[in-house]
Amino acid sequence: MGSAVDAKDAPSRLLKVAAAQVGAVHRWSDRADTLNRLIRLLEEAAQTGALLVLFPELALTTFFPRYFIADENELASFFEHGEDVTGSKNTKKLFQRAHELGVDICVGYAERTTDGHSYNTCVYYSARLQRVITKYRKSHLPGTQEPCKDPGAINQLEKRYFEEGQEGFRAFRVPGLVDGALKKSLSIDGDASSEGRGDPIVGMLICNDRRWSEAWRVYGLQGTELILCGYNTTAWAPHLHGKHNQSKEQSKADAYFHHKLVMQSNSYTNSCFSICAARCGLDDDEFPLIGGSCIIGPDGRIIAEAQTEDDEVVFAEIDLAACRPGKQTVGDPSLMWRDPEC
Ligand code: CDT
């Protein structure tokens, strides 16, 4: 389909973004301390000018699905309860600070609904609107329902603790991030010069979702320009990966390789930016998770990348107009992207 504006002439839509990578959080870590670490990362990102900060999957606690937890009270302590995650004593300060700083956040947590359902969830909080504008529940739950028979195994019991999200992959527009974004009321119907110039179109994934191309493609077909993906990826889990003879070093190298492979290739094939944020480091001084938080362009190249496996802000200024050549010339039938406000 033709366009009135060549990709090379598309006006810039600049946006400063950050990934807030979070290092080791232990089973015994105090939740208030962990929350304060997230707030420090948010403040550091805000100082760089970031208007959007992504936090990891299950950012508020250790990665508890690695344990078989028989005690219901302990299990419940890892969850946020009820509909309004912004109001919980475990989270309130983070959302308040985001509002004060004028920075949008996407943050992952374990959700327990009032009627007793459990999900691995993330929300997108708009500082400008002062509310959660979208919630996503993880679709691809990895691991097993039952713990491994070997008592020395590192488990992955997400299928035990969570239900699969059923809402699918719904892209959404975020107001207030990009200067001069066109609104439907300001654009001329059928005027192709408005294509790709509305508010940013964003999609959310959680960890294992990033390995499945259909998740990306469903977002891609809605014209998504920016994918947000928090994760906890173990660097060493021979029982899960079925590679008992592999060294810890090789296992970790493989985990990094596959992480970057899926993030970079899917960003390229959907001509979108992506941000990914790790929970990483050595949880309980024993369980290694990879870092590798990064910001990737629509050409699949890494723009900025974490240098540590600890708390770290990864920052970049991106131009969403750079999504345009891929979407336009590869022929992405993205109606949402073409219309500034559909
Ligand atoms: N948290 C999470 O989804 N982790 C998975 C582990 C897959 S191996 C069983 C991941 O994709 O990194």
CA nearest ligand 1 atom 4, residue: 233
Q: For residue 48, which amino acid is it?
A: T
pLDDT for the residue 124: 98
Residues in the chain where the model's pLDDT stays below 70 = 1-8, 184-195, 330-342
138 given a catalytic annotation: yes
Residue 68: CB atoms within 10 Å: 12
Tell me how far apart the alpha carbons of residues 203 and 54 are, in angstroms, rounded to a whole number: 12
Tell me how far apart the alpha carbons of residues 138 and 166 are, in angstroms, rounded to a whole number: 9
| pLDDT, tens digit (0-9, with 9 covering 90-100), for 136-191 | 999 999 999 999 988 888 899 999 999 999 999 999 999 999 998 887 544 334 44
Domain count of the fold of the chain: 1
83 given a catalytic annotation: no
pLDDT for the residue 342: 41
In a domain, 183, yes or no: yes
342 given a catalytic annotation: no
In a domain, 141, yes or no: yes
Q: Which of 122, 207, 272, 294 is catalytic?
A: 207
Tell me how far apart the alpha carbons of residues 240 and 156 are, in angstroms, rounded to a whole number: 8
Please name which of 159, 155, 163 lies closest in space to residue 142, comparing C-alpha atoms: 159
pLDDT for the residue 331: 55
Strand partners, 283: 287
Which residues, 6 or more positions from 89, have their beta carbon under 8 angstroms from its beta carbon?
A: none
Which residues, 6 or more positions from 331, have their beta carbon under 8 angstroms from its beta carbon?
A: 1
pLDDT for the residue 328: 81
Residues in the chain: 342
Q: Is 217 exposed, middle or buried (0-12, 13-18, 19+ CB in 10 A)?
A: middle
For residue 210, what are the domain limits? 7-335
Helix, strand, coil percentages, rounded to 5, for the chain: 30, 25, 45
In a domain, 2, yes or no: no
* Sign of torsion over alpha carbons 184, 188, 189, 194: negative
In a domain, 218, yes or no: yes
Beta strand pairing call for 273-278 and 226-231: parallel
CA nearest ligand 1 atom 5, residue: 208
